[in-house]
Amino acid sequence: MFIKLVKGVAVSVAALGMFGVINMSANQTQASASKVHFSNVKRVATNELGKPYSYGAVGPNSFDCSGFTQYVMKNGANRNIVRTAQAQYDSYKHVKKSKIKKGDLVFFGSSKSDIYHVGIALNKHQMIDAQNRGVIIEPIHAPWWNLVGASRPVSFAKKTVKSPVRF
């Protein structure tokens, strides 16, 4: 079989005298090892559900909020992030609250300079976090939290659909 990449967009396949074209996105042509999928982060995070909260804990037996986000990003996205909620808020590009996506860090506090809690968005409405009840899933917009902002320390790869080979 002969495979030829043409400008990262098309692949020609020749085998036993047959020819075909597979249309691929540019993202599909990158090495899969460099791709990080949200499903990995979600799996690591949800495996910790029910673990107890302990101030200053970074896992794996107990967590505080920023220890939890640091642990999940390291083990689910192979991304080292800074330790505290305030440092995490200060270190990464912010996204508008209305643009929160799964995998974003969501920050809570009294102001941008007083961040005291962080969680990981599962979608626009729910997060997984470590708080006094342990690692739980709860609403981002719960009345007991004051959402200050969000950041995106990891850009997740989009799931790609493999194109069938046509001959």
Residue 37 gets which letter from DSSP?
-
- Average pLDDT of span 131-150: 97
Residue range 79-121, pLDDT digits in tens: 999 999 999 999 999 999 999 999 999 999 999 999 999 999 9
Tell me whether residue 65 is one of the annotated catalytic residues: yes
Catalytic residue among 64, 65, 104, 114, which? 65
Give the residue, 86 or 22, on which the prediction is more confident: 86
Rg for the chain (alpha carbons), in Å? 20
**Residue 164: is its pLDDT beyond 80?**
no
- Cα distance between residue 158 and residue 132, in whole Å: 34
The predicted pLDDT at position 4 comes to 42
The predicted pLDDT at position 18 comes to 38
DSSP string, 84-113: SHHHHHHHS-EE-GGG--TT-EEEEEEETT
- Cα distance between residue 106 and residue 56, in whole Å: 19
**Residue 30: is its pLDDT beyond 90?**
no
Catalytic residue among 90, 94, 117, 141, which? 117
pTM value is 0.76
Residue range 62-85, pLDDT digits in tens: 999 999 999 999 999 999 999 999
Tell me whether residue 129 is one of the annotated catalytic residues: yes
**Residue 2: is its pLDDT beyond 90?**
no
- Cα distance between residue 7 and residue 154, in whole Å: 27
Q: What percent of the chain has pLDDT over 90?
A: 71
Tell me whether residue 117 is one of the annotated catalytic residues: yes
- Furthest-apart CA atoms within the chain: distance in Å: 68
**pLDDT band of 5, cuts 50, 70, 90:** very low
Domains present along the chain, CATH in parentheses: 2-32 (no CATH), 36-151 (3.90.1720.10)
- Cα distance between residue 33 and residue 27, in whole Å: 12
